[in-house]
A = this chain, B = another copy of it.
Amino acid sequence: MLTQDVCNSFIDIADLNQLKWNLNRLQPVDAAEYITRAPQQKRAITFRLLNKNQAIDVFEHLPSEVQKELISSLHDVQVAQIVEAMSAHERAELFDELPPGVVKWLLQELSPEQRQATATILGYPEGTAGRLMTTEYVWLREGLTVGEALRKIRRQDEDKETIYYAYVTDNKRRLVSTVSLRQLLFTIPDAKIRDIASDRVVKVRTDTPQEEVVRLMKRYDLIAIPVVDREERLVGIITIDDVVDIVEEQATEEIQKLVGVSGGDEAALSPSGITIRKRLPWLLGIMLLYIGASSAIAPFQSTISMVPVLAVIMPLFSNTGGTVGIQALTVTIRGLGVGEVTPKDTLQILRKELTAGLGTALALGFTMIMLSLIWAPPSERWVALVAGTVMATNTLVAVTLGTLLPMGLKRLKLDPAMMSGPLVTTMLDAIGFMIFLSMISMALNVFHLKH
């Protein structure tokens, strides 16, 4: 395997023949990375060094900006060839990025078969099985023998995305069973497909959300899953390599949304304009939410000036309470995300969170009392008891909100990761401070504890 470091050294090799030989020997994804990292003005020249098959494979691995760039600088014939050879769902992804005029031209250049496949896939909304599928798969009739099936598979175009499963359809093209290439190889050629194919078919519909596709493929350890339409007719398959990418994208979204990155899809090297656009809304959101939260604190300014140790205790209170809430929130959102739990389990999770929360509340309340005693001057030591009690209560409120908010969103069929961490901590701050400061000023009034 040629590593990236080897790739980088090519940049300075003047000998184009040497570069050509190397580029055509590389794995397509590595050659694509080499081209992407090359200076913009050299990309098209470098790409032209690839021979036809390698060019087709490499093109699929290029980021869409570079694909766009190349389309405008290559010969029309070459572009048409490459786009014709792309798999239908990768072509659909590219078309999403291109200007409508270019898409129209490219569609005209496609063979009728590929044009049809692209149109089908573009007809489904993003995030559904229809959009992820490829229309290149192997299908067989029930009546064939194993030998005939193997001969049919051998006659297929080599481009079929996977030949490791074949799908058996009836005369209306409805999916009835599947058979793996492995089964075909291990069975005598005279056996009928009907007798060895499995009718325990795990399949999805074109409108099945991609999360469900992932769940099923993981659960049944599939390397491909068939996609059917409303009439149960086979229209495509989804392969495992796309699923690995979805699992990772989903996790990135979840983790980033949780910390207040809108959309949850910022890359570490995104341009700074995108970074601002993705992060600033929640930050300003928090500040505005604080107008609400501050109305909980503002009336107590005189209390605070009477008991200044509060200013030391309150940030600790806020940071710890927020963390408790976000821990519960994260574990719940992740449990929903990987399909480990559903809203049906709400009560069970809440029971567990409250039981654990009780232990945590006692530990944190006690520690809060200890720490407050360290900071408070003798005349303000009574504050420690109030702080400890409120800390404990706040912990229970935090785990309850952290569990119920995402579960509620999920039940309403909304995205549970919408409930971002900053929102939850702000809510907890407002609730906690209000309880805490009310109790302190009540104590001041009732017991005339100070001044």
> Interface of A with B (CB < 8 Å)?
1, 25-27, 29, 150, 153-154, 158, 163-164, 181-182, 185-186, 200-203, 217-221, 223, 240-241, 243-245, 247-248, 251-252, 254-256, 258-261, 266-273, 275-276, 279-280, 282-284, 286-287, 290-291, 293-294, 297-298, 300-302, 304-306, 308-312, 314-316, 318-320, 322-324, 326-327, 329-332, 334-336, 338, 340-341, 345, 348-349, 352-353, 355-356, 359-360, 363-364, 367-368, 371, 374-375, 421-422, 425-426, 429, 433
Contact = CB atoms under 8 A, between A and B. Distances in A.
A283 B320 CA distance: 6
B1 A283 contact: no
A315 to B, nearest CB: 5
A371 B290 contact: yes
A271 to B, nearest CB: 7
A154 B186 contact: yes
A260 B297 contact: no
Given A259-B421, A301-B309, A1 B185 contact: no
Grouping DSSP codes into helix (H, G, I), strand (E, B) and loop, the A interface class, with mixed when no group exceeds half, is helix
Contact of A349 (B153, B223, B269): B269
A270 B259 CA distance: 24
Nearest to A354: B272
A324 to B, nearest CB: 6
5 contacts: A251-B252, A259-B327, A271-B352, A279-B356, A291-B374
A353 to B, nearest CB: 7
Contact of A247 (B247, B272, B335): B247
A390 to B, nearest CB: 14
Given A181-B181, A298-B312, A312-B297, A330 B256 contact: yes
The list of the 10 closest CB pairs from A to B, nearest first, reads: A268-B335, A251-B251, A272-B356, A275-B356, A272-B355, A301-B308, A305-B308, A304-B311, A221-B241, A255-B255
A231 B280 CA distance: 53
Given A163-B185, A244-B244, A331 B268 contact: yes
Contacts of A268: 331-332, 334-336, 340-341, 345, 349
Given A1-B201, A290-B371, A330-B259, A340 B308 contact: no
A200 B356 CA distance: 53
B352 A275 contact: yes
Contact of A158 (B29, B186, B243): B186
Contacts of A247: 244, 247-248, 251
A289 to B, nearest CB: 9
Contacts of A258: 255, 259, 330
A102 B220 CA distance: 30
B244 A218 contact: yes
B297 A311 contact: yes
A240 B247 CA distance: 13
A59 to B, nearest CB: 15
Contacts of A280: 359-360, 363
A314 B294 CA distance: 11
A221 B252 CA distance: 20
Contacts of A329: 259
A323 B282 contact: yes
Contacts of A255: 251, 254-255, 258, 330, 334
Contacts of A352: 269-272, 275
Contact of A276 (B266, B316, B356): B356
Nearest to A245: B218
A298 B375 contact: yes
A421 B219 CA distance: 32
Contacts of A25: 200
B310 A371 contact: no
A283 B317 CA distance: 11
Contact of A269 (B164, B340, B367): B340
A348 B269 contact: yes
Given A259-B323, A318-B319, A244 B240 contact: yes
